[in-house]
Structure 1
Amino acid sequence: MKTPIDVAVTGAAGQISYSLLFRLASGELFGLEQPIVLRLLEITPALDRLHGVKMELNDCAYPLLQKVILTDDPRIAFKDVDYAFLVGARPRGPGMKRKDLLESNAEIFSGQGNALNEVAHRNVKVLITGNPANTNALITQKNAPDLSPTCFSAMSMLDHNRAIFQLAKKCGVRSKDVKNIIVWGNHSETQYPDLMHATVKGLSASTLVSDAWIENEFIPTVRHRGASVIEERGGISSAASAANAAIFQMRSWVFGTEASDWSDWVSMAVISDGSYGVEKGLFCSFPVQVSSSGLVSIVQDLDLDATSKARLKESVLELKEERKAIKHLL
């Protein structure tokens, strides 16, 4: 059997993590021959609840799960980790301004960045899902200066999957028949789900759906899907679909997109190199390809019309505003 890998999950007693941990322990992400050690981080008051999660993990008797470590210390949680899912974040409370949310999360993710910098494996892959994910990724990366910026990514696969389903439903096909959707920008209501390069069973999506449907239904539905789920579920977030997207994105990052037969690329929020006019250093969602060795590259030279450029610019402006709000903490 292979040497166990160490996988850290923060906010490990929360809803998203509850949907994520059992799938990790089962081997769904890393394969049925790869044993893992789960290193679970929570705030001190939630450790009792996390202990209950550990009991359930143990009761599943997963053959690949070698050990479960519970802690409220990020330096223990991130010790020599190969992969980290930063799920835990402070949610936006009633009356809380966005600036206050950004600052409270900046304190969390700056501390976790420092810990990763000190103790994590030098080639660690860190996926930030806690919102605001793009700016939290920026904070984490800035506080881990000894790690390559390519060690960090923010999740946009949830938006990518949502966009795939909406197009597949409209065209009366299965999700696997949809390829090359793109989500540009921030994981927020300014994101731009783009169908310009998408295909459905090899046909251009733009020939199968109307501009009116894209503008009035597709884009608003994808942008507001999270809020819609919360409303329908009575205040409960889209935890299962978020956990699923985290697995999808990390799997693409670990094993690559080269061998994929379902898309030429995936959407990931990675640090910008200036592609498509996005300021260097921001974490922005792009179409990316990943080599079998895990090297991420932004897909180049895609055509964007004036409307697409304007929408990407709008989302990037929001990323800049978020960065400005927490600049003193970077």
Structure 2
Amino acid sequence: MIARGMMLGPNQPVILHMLDIEPGLEALKGVEMELVDGVVATTDVVEACKDVNIAVMLGGFPRKEGMERKDVMSKNVSIYKAQASALEEYAAADCKVLVVANPANTNALILKEFAPSIPDKNITCLTRLDHNRALGQISEKLNSEFITTIQQRGGAIIKARKLSSALSAASAACDHIRDWVLGTPKGTWVSMGVYCDGSYGIQPGLIYSFPVTCDKGEWNIVQGLKIDEFSREKMDKTAQELIGEKTLANSCL
């Protein structure tokens, strides 16, 4: 998708730096062979991060049956500490970061902790997948089942294909970066997990999903939207869950 111009437009040359772990190297080389030109395929995090302007962080450790949440968080802290440190030292000064791997909000906070020179506004996480699913469900007018359907769609995909969302997540990541870099269409906004400044009464210091508009490579939270009691309850519940994750991550640092 990136090579075809779906992320940054058809006329933007790109050099792809693809990082994977050693067991994935053979598959990674296969992808490199398909793309041929403008590709760095490596298991070296320093080589992968060298001079990059946009980093899409797909790697993470998923929770497996029988695992405690702290065990999962500890593994993700380890992953994101190493990759954040490499971005901090070797990425371009204007590097924009999108964290996709769950728990994406908290993984983004971990990355921020270990890459302090990357501006707060340059570290985001992917909530566009749920945004895109929500638009799809609204278009089908499944109002009574709306929230449950969106929440459970990822689980339904895992059950069906034994793997997490692939094409839809890739498409959402391209959408996120494209709008961030090239701007949102006039009169519309999108969802991005961004560093919270206290908007809508959400505790500052979290990476939280807000409606945003983007222009000239910058995002801005849409202000003044009316929040009904039902939405307020859901927003506050999400914030409390993220506060709990943040506390857990801090205990693993």
TM-score (norm 2): 0.96
Measure, in 1, the Cα distance between the counterparts of 2:230 and 2:70: 29
Q: How is 1:245-256 mapped onto 2 (pairs within 5 angstroms)?
A: 245-256=172-183
Q: Confirm or deny: 8 A CA contact 2:54 2:97 kept in the other structure.
A: yes
Whether 1:232 and 2:155 are equivalent positions in the alignment is no
Which amino acid letter does the alignment assign opposite residue 272 of structure 1?
A: C
Does 1:47 find its partner at 2:25?
Answer: yes
Largest Rg, 1 or 2: 1
1:131 to 102, 122, 127: 102
1:44-193 to 2 correspondence within 5 Å? 44-58=22-36, 66-170=37-141
Among residues 230, 244, 253, which one is paired with 1:307 in the alignment? Answer: 230
SS, match of residue 224 in structure 1: helix
Query: Which residue in the other structure is 1:278 paired with?
Result: 202
Paired AA for residue 23 in structure 2: P
Aligned to 1:32: 10
Q: Would the aligned equivalents of 2:56 and 2:99 in 1 still touch at CA under 8 Å?
A: yes
Q: Give the corresponding residue for 2:248.
A: 325
Q: Give the Cα separation in 1 of the matches to 2:12 and 2:223.
A: 34
Q: Is this contact kept in 1: 2:125–2:194, CA < 8 A?
A: yes
Two-structure CA RMSD over aligned residues (Å): 1.4
Within 2, Cα distance between the matches of 1:27 and 1:314? 38
What is the rounded CA distance, in whole Å, between the counterparts of 1:157 and 1:32 in structure 2? 22
One-letter amino acid of the counterpart of residue 290, structure 1: C
CA–CA separation in structure 2 for the residues paired with 1:32 and 1:130: 27
Which stretches in structure 2 are left out of the alignment for 5+ residues?
none
CA distance in 2, matches of 1:48, 1:229: 26
Post-superposition shift, 1:37?
Answer: 0.8
Partner SS, residue 296 of structure 1? strand
Give the C-alpha shift of residue 240 in structure 1.
Answer: 0.5
CA distance in 1, matches of 2:252, 2:70: 13
Q: How many residues align?
A: 253
**What is the TM-score when the length of structure 1 is the normalising length?**
0.74
Partner SS state of residue 300, structure 1 = coil
Query: Which secondary structure state, in structure 1, belongs to the residue aligned with residue 38 of structure 2?
Result: strand
Provide, for residues 50-100 of structure 1, a one-character-per-residue CA deviation record: whole Å limited to 9, x for no partner: 111111222xxxxxxx42112222211111101111011112222112221
- Displacement of 1:309 in angstroms is 1.2
Give the Cα–Cα distance (whole angstroms) in 2 for the partners of residues 44 and 229 of structure 1.
27
Deviation readout 1:120-177 (Å, 9 max, x if unpaired): 1111111100111000011011111111011111000000000000010127xxxxxx
Q: Aligned residues: percent identity?
A: 43
CA shift, 1:329, in A, is 4.4
Aligned-partner SS, 1:36: coil
Matches of 1:34 and 1:302, distance apart in 2: 35
